[in-house]
Amino acid sequence: MKFLTIAIDGYSSCGKSTLAKEIANELNYVYVDSGAMYRAFTLHLMNRGILKDGAYITSQVIDELENTQIRFAFNTETQKSETYLNGVNVEKDIRSSLISKQVSPISAIKEVREKMVAIQQQMGIEGRVVMDGRDIGTVVFPKAEVKLFMTASNEIRAQRRLIELLEKGENVSLDDVKKSLAQRDHIDMTREIAPLRKAEDAIEIDNSELNRAEQLELALTIIQDKIQSLQSVK
């Protein structure tokens, strides 16, 4: 069977990574969380004192790119791919709401995107990859055989994110989460370079009313249909 490239894009907290991981698991593909790379770089800038309370000097951010090495390694204990920043496992640190609040402006910088996109394209060069993000179907893999675009209602997204943060022990309210999501969506959709948008050939999945199993089933049906249509073209 031909190996595919599967691109999953969508708004923040739409369940993209949950679905992407499950698809990768089902098909024995590699899962790549492209957002984790922007998050890790944001953490690096904070650690270096270049990004403080959301303020930064763009030229310093760009200079710092060459001091940043980001990679993923599969943890056999947790059965998850984890993010490493300059050799240190930062998987937990990059998920905080502090990073979530500051990552979007950093990810809008052209040079930052160029570096991350080049790494992402290298990771997907052999296919057999499921990657989630904002520009995967439009910029990173415009020729991906399967493109999914995830949406969910604002209320549901905020509730899901709130539960995640409360489970991690963060002290946040539903209102904080709603504001932060709206802010991130706005920056991601309106930035000049590679803004979040649905690729023309992407299939939209609104998972507001779907549970995880239903969402996975729907995605696998779309993928199987695609595989069949590719085989019938041969």
Whole-angstrom distance, CA of residue 188 vs CA of residue 195: 6
107 contacts ligand DC (rule: CB under 6 A): yes
**Amino acid in the structure at residue 198:** K
Binding residue for ligand DC (CB under 6 A) from 5, 12, 102, 215?
12
Residue among 134 and 216 whose Cβ is closer to ligand DC: 134
Residue among 124 and 133 whose Cβ is closer to ligand DC: 133
Q: Which 86-105 positions form the footprint of ligand DC (CB under 6 A)?
A: 103-104
Closest CA to 27 of 6, 51, 8: 6
Counting residues that bind ligand DC (by CB under 6 A) gives 14
Under DSSP, is residue 129 helix (H, G, I), strand (E, B) or coil? strand
Q: Say if residues 14 and 133 touch (Cβ distance below 8 Å).
A: no
Stretch that binds ligand DC, among 47-55, 60-68, 131-139, 222-230 (CB under 6 A): 131-139
Whole-angstrom distance, CA of residue 100 vs CA of residue 82: 17
Residue among 100 and 233 whose Cβ is closer to ligand DC: 100
Binding residue for ligand DC (CB under 6 A) from 188, 199, 202, 219?
188
Residue among 20 and 216 whose Cβ is closer to ligand DC: 20
Please list, in sequence order, all residues whose beta carbon lies within 8 angstroms of the beta carbon of residue 176, skipping any fewer than 6 positions away: 97
34 contacts ligand DC (rule: CB under 6 A): yes
15 contacts ligand DC (rule: CB under 6 A): no
Residue among 44 and 134 whose Cβ is closer to ligand DC: 134
Binding residue for ligand DC (CB under 6 A) from 15, 35, 105, 124?
35
Q: Which residues of 133-166 are buried (b: 16+ CB within 10 A; e: fewer)?
A: bbbbbbbbbeebbbbbbbebeeebbbbbbbeebe
Under DSSP, is residue 203 helix (H, G, I), strand (E, B) or coil? strand
Residue among 93 and 230 whose Cβ is closer to ligand DC: 93
31 contacts ligand DC (rule: CB under 6 A): no
207 contacts ligand DC (rule: CB under 6 A): no
Q: How far is the CB of 9 from ligand DC (least distance, A)?
A: 7
Element (H, E) at 8: strand 5-10
Binding residue for ligand DC (CB under 6 A) from 21, 39, 115, 147?
39
Q: Say if residues 160 and 14 touch (Cβ distance below 8 Å).
A: no
Dihedral (CA of 135, 136, 139, 144) sign: negative
Q: How far is the CB of 15 from ligand DC (least distance, A)?
A: 11
Q: Which residues bind ligand DC (CB under 6 A)?
A: 12, 34-35, 38-39, 103-104, 107, 133-136, 184, 188
